[in-house]
Structure 1
Amino acid sequence: MTLKPKLANLERRIGYQFEDPALLLQALTHRSFGATNNERLEFIGDGLVNAVVAMLLFSAHPSLDEGSLSRLRSKLVSKDGLAVIAKRFDLGSLLQLGTGERKSGGRHRDSILADAVEAIAGAILVETDFGRASAIVSQWFVEGVASLDTTSTRDAKTLLQEWLQGKGYALPQYTVVSVTGEDHNQQFEVSCHSDVGDLVTYGRASSRKKAEQAAAHDLLEILINE
């Protein structure tokens, strides 16, 4: 099959037919192929994809806070998340790659596939407008949004707080026990204390926030398994 019918099949899969096919071809062209490539389209496509996914999540999960929504979005717009969409569209077989990238397996590299997804989104935005491009690109993520496990997005501190509040207990208290190491390589030890059984757990990590999460995780494990 020649390239033209392959691009037409791709347009059916992405839900948009380009008035200028050269724009789609550019979106599929890696920088290793030549000076005219998809990097600029990827730049604006990245912004569109993030905005579209944010709106989908905002509408689908009205009870989730900002942190949870951000973590869900990260899953969908990450290199791995976008590569899933690229493989659904069979972009690998259509990528325009330089000889080196082609020989080293660039058609199957998630980072290159993810960039191509963003570039296609950017190309649609260039040829249409934000409203239409958003409507088209949002369809790419509907399935992914529906299949997300929202229970795993909440961090340990949030889950611990919800567990304690649900049982009518006071919130836990976090205290920095020690900070050791040089400024560029510090280790924080934090305690997490709960009135439930007067329990105390400890977490160690390279930042206070991570240490608090570790301590909260351990305390939650104890409480749940009592």
Structure 2
Amino acid sequence: MDNMSEHNLETLEEKLGYRFRERGFLEEALTHRTFVNETGGGKDNQRLEFFGDAVLDFLLSDILMLQFPASREGDLTRMRAALVDETSLAAIAASVDLGSYLRLGRGEEKGGGRQKRSLLADAFEALVAAIYLDGGLEAVKGVVEAIFRPLLASGEVLTGRDFKTDLQERARLARGELPRYQLKEVSGPDHDRRYTVEIYLGKELMGEGIGRSKKEAEQAAAKAAMLVIKAEG
């Protein structure tokens, strides 16, 4: 489905606080591979997604280094991981209704692609790259700072929480058991692997997590399990 009307693109630009000089970058960032496969033309957003991931890591590293000069490398790494994990990026994408602007193939559209976390997170990374290519470093830095400042106010991000360690202690006290992590699947192309990890307490499946590394996926799974245990009181 093609949502590239002038009105739609201008509305998205207003939400982002950035006006593109070359609309082609924006259109590419919003184009999923299924649309290109079905129509046989144009560029999909996979290359921009790859680049945007690196741009985002660089910008957030700079922001965190300046804002938390006394923090150690491990804490900074966990803070950055919390900011750029799939759940966080998908939530940011949803906050600007990014899914409604995407060009998707008919099958992806019918399959609920506009609400898929992985698809939304990837599109947001592509959008970051598009802004960088269109306006340069200062332009994309301004957009990233405006978006991520509210997340930096989150206690979970600021403390760089290690959910695996937190869960291990909470599970031991609440259940008398230690969590067990199991790799469910590895998907995606070589340059953009996605790891899905399930987490169990005993034989009970407590949830799953997705990340760009096995460690990141385990942290996401531990976070999901923590929510379940907290809900149990």
Q: TM-score, normalization: structure 1?
A: 0.64
Which of 85, 88, 91 in structure 2 is aligned with 1:78? Answer: 85
Q: Does 1:144 align with 2:151?
A: yes
Q: Does 1:19 align with 2:26?
A: no
- Decide which moves more: 139-148 or 78-87: 139-148
| Distance (whole Å) between structure 2 residues aligned to residue 152 and residue 122 of structure 1 | 26
Gaps of 5+ in 2: 37-41, 167-233
Counterpart mapping for 1:1-20 below 5 A = 3-20=5-22
Q: Which residue of structure 2 lines up, in the alignment, with residue 117 of structure 1?
A: 124
| Aligned residue type for 1:142 | R
Task: Pick the structure with greater CA Rg.
Answer: 1
Identity %: 38
| Aligned residue type for 1:70 | T
Q: Does 1:87 align with 2:104?
A: no
Question: Secondary structure of the equivalent of 1:119?
Answer: helix
Q: CA deviation at 1:148?
A: 3.6
Counterpart mapping for 1:1-226 below 5 A = 3-34=5-36, 36-149=43-156, 150-151=158-159, 153=161
Post-superposition Cα deviations, 1:155-211, rounded to whole Å, max 9, x if no partner, equal: 859xxxxxxxxxxxxxxxxxxxxxxxxxxxxxxxxxxxxxxxxxxxxxxxxxxxxxx
Structure 1: 4+ residue segments shifted above 4 A: 154-157
Q: Which residue of structure 1 lines up, in the alignment, with residue 180 of structure 2?
A: none
**Contact 1:56–1:145 at 8 Å: present in 2 too?**
no
Q: How many equivalent pairs are there?
A: 157
Q: CA deviation at 1:117?
A: 0.6
**Contact 1:27–1:38 at 8 Å: present in 2 too?**
yes
| Distance (whole Å) between structure 2 residues aligned to residue 117 and residue 123 of structure 1 | 10
| Aligned residue type for 1:83 | A
Post-superposition Cα deviations, 1:109-150, rounded to whole Å, max 9, x if no partner, equal: 011001111111101111122233222222211111122423
Over 3 Å counting, the alpha-carbon distance change for 1:145 and 1:152 in structure 2 is closer
| Distance (whole Å) between structure 2 residues aligned to residue 73 and residue 119 of structure 1 | 18
| Distance (whole Å) between structure 2 residues aligned to residue 148 and residue 51 of structure 1 | 22
| Distance (whole Å) between structure 2 residues aligned to residue 121 and residue 156 of structure 1 | 32
Q: TM-score, normalization: structure 2?
A: 0.62
**Contact 1:48–1:134 at 8 Å: present in 2 too?**
no
**Contact 2:31–2:102 at 8 Å: present in 1 too?**
yes
Over 3 Å counting, the alpha-carbon distance change for 1:151 and 1:141 in structure 2 is closer
| Aligned residue type for 2:134 | E
| Distance (whole Å) between structure 2 residues aligned to residue 148 and residue 120 of structure 1 | 27
| Distance (whole Å) between structure 2 residues aligned to residue 116 and residue 2 of structure 1 | 15
Q: CA deviation at 1:26?
A: 1.2
| Distance (whole Å) between structure 2 residues aligned to residue 2 and residue 39 of structure 1 | 18
